[in-house]
Amino acid sequence: MASSKSKQSFLPPHFLLFPVMAQGHQIPMAELAKLLSQNGVKITLITTPQNATRIQPLLSQSPLIQIIQIPFPAHQQNLLQNSENFDSLPSLHLVPQFLTATSFLCSETEHLFPQLSPKPCCIISDMALPWTIQIAHKFNVPRLVFYSLSAFYLLFMANLRDTDFGEKIMAASDSELISIPNFPDPIQVTKSQLIFTLDPVFLEWGNQMAKADSASYGFIMNSFDGLEPTYLEELKKAIDKVWCIGPVSLCNKDTKDKARRGNKAAIDEQECMEWLDRQEPESVIYAALGSICNVTAPQIIELGLALEASNKPFIWVIRQTKSTEKEVENWLAETEFEQRIKDRGLVVRGWAPQVLILSHPAVGGFVTHCGWNSTIEGISSGVPMVTWPLFADQMFNEKMIVEVLRIGVSVGVEKCLRWGVEEEIGVQVKKEGIRDAIEKVMSGEGEEMRRRVRELAAIAKAAMEEGGSSHLNLKLLIEEIMHQADSVQPQKTF
């Protein structure tokens, strides 16, 4: 008998994880780490010192997880030394430079890899780190790509690469509706909704990602089999190995776990829960636009006015940035906003414990920017959504929420924001548009949406339980990687 094999079987399998340093990427990746470790996998997660501090609270209960810190090579792209995360960049137009700087972590990791014990049997890389394929090749381990995106969007991106859709949309006017080819549902988009996706800088990065993906072993997705089955089926025609293992945020079972994801919350979790306990079931609107939202101060104010005009209890999360904070704070003080809404509104300046809030029975509607994590967190909490996409895949997530799943109402955004030039749009969505969408979701009209999203929430929860589809997919993934540990199979081109 091969003694090395029998020896190996007593050691836990060891996976190496590379998150992108942005909350919408590193939180779900840390949750994936937690799920893998609960299934007996040893995890080494590579990140930078500031991000390690942020991830640590989420992983502190998991003895099989170690975080290795590598200093962020900010100087390689003339970024400020403390710019270790998308949310600490002075402007989002620096993201391409930031991503290029991450590639300088490659040689450090190559030095580190031989010291890891037991030898990692795979690399799980964030989608936006194509350079991790070099490490996989060098050490002959499979690379798996983690996508916290929908199959719906990935299928669109595959179509953009493989059909003449890109040329068609470039030749169209800004507002002309063009049908997406080879899509299970009749979905149309305009050029204005795609200006972010069609930006040459991101298209080039996307090409590099696709190249690395085509040499990778498979995709791990923060989605679940019952959510978008027809899109998953189509995606699997282009890519052989796809494991849906989400919604990963459901790995957080108790209040503390739900509250300690990401940054330290700007509101005391107990105070927040007590406030929600005092509200009627399904009466509260939770409004939050993600971890890197780039709306202007006048647009933030418009949202506050809409929440006030809704006459419903609400929690309003205001992301604080250097460019908006002063103007918004002055407005809050001058108009005595908090005084006016004190009986039914809670303003959170900074980080909110989103999953904890969404899972409270008092929450009845979610005003969201449709980031994929927020979308799937809203779905798993059974909360209908008011959709306000800002950039990237968010326009597509809105279409999925409103047109395919029919669990939300749009505020009517017509144009995608571009990173670094948000001011060109100013106030895009008026108070009345937001208020009307809230009214639809919270009134009788929203009942059917509520019923549908509750059904999806039940399917999501069942998927994550012992024997559920995501739970089984995760187990199958671990088993397959353990068997493949010594041979890297190139993935079919995607």
Q: Which residues bind ligand UDP (CB under 6 A)?
A: 23-24, 27, 261-262, 288, 290-292, 317, 351-352, 354-355, 371-374, 377
| Of 50, 46, 20, 54, the residue nearest 262 (C-alpha) | 54
With tokens 């009214």, the residue in question is 439
Contact 284, 315 (CB under 8 A): yes
Q: How far is the CB of 317 from ligand UDP (least distance, A)?
A: 5
Q: Which is nearer to ligand UDP, 31 or 302 (CB)?
A: 31
Helix axes 95-102, 200-214, angle to 10 degrees: 30
Nearer to ligand UDP, 133 or 383 (CB): 383
Measured from the CB of residue 164, what is the shortest distance to ligand UDP in angstroms?
30
Distance of CA 43 to the CA centre of its chain: 21
CB of 259 to ligand UDP, least distance (A): 9
CA atoms of 15 and 33, how far apart (whole Å): 9
Q: Whose Cβ is closer to ligand UDP: residue 320's or residue 493's?
A: 320
Residues contacting 271, CB < 8 A, separation 6+: none
CA dihedral for 185, 372, 33, 16, sign (positive or negative): positive
Measured from the CB atom, is 246 or 290 closer to ligand UDP? 290
CB of 356 to ligand UDP, least distance (A): 9
Q: Please, where are the H alpha helices in 113-180?
A: 132-138, 151-162, 165-171
Minimum distance, C-beta of residue 441 to ligand UDP, in the bound complex (Å)? 18
By beta-carbon proximity to ligand UDP, the closer residue of 146 and 217 is: 146
Instruction: Choose between 310 and 359: whose C-beta lies nearer to ligand UDP.
Output: 359
CA–CA dist 170, 125 (Å, integer): 32
Nearest 5°: CA angle at 26, between 24 and 31? 105
Q: Tokens representing 340? A: 């006016």
**Shortest reach from residue 355's CB to ligand UDP, in Å:** 6
Q: Which residues, 6+ apart, have CB-to-CB distance to 274 below 8 Å? A: none
In terms of CB distance, is 147 or 165 closer to ligand UDP?
147
Nearest to 242 by CA among 219, 212, 210, 214: 219
Query: CB of residue 318 vs ligand UDP: minimum separation in angstroms?
Result: 9
Compare residues 141 and 401 and give the one whose CB is closer to ligand UDP.
401
Q: How far is CA 257 from CA 251, 419, 461, in A?
A: 9, 32, 17
Q: Tell me the closest approach of the beta carbon of residue 370 to ligand UDP, in angstroms.
A: 8
Least distance to ligand UDP, CB of residue 354, Å: 3
Q: Distance between CA 440 and CA 450 in Å, rounded?
A: 11
Closer by beta carbon to ligand UDP, 227 or else 478 = 227
Nearer to ligand UDP, 165 or 388 (CB): 388
CB of residue 283 to ligand UDP, shortest distance in Å: 21
63 cis-preceded (ω within 30 degrees of 0)? no
Q: How far is the CB of 285 from ligand UDP (least distance, A)?
A: 15
In this structure, the number of other CB atoms found within 10 A of the CB of residue 174 comes to 12
CA–CA separation, 226 and 107 (whole Å): 40
The residue nearest ligand UDP at its CB is 24
Do residues 291 and 22 touch, judged by C-beta distance below 8 A? yes
Residue 51 or 491 with smaller CB distance to ligand UDP: 51
Give whole-number Cα distances, 177 to 163, 168, 203, in Å.
Answer: 17, 11, 21
d(CA 442, CA 363): 10
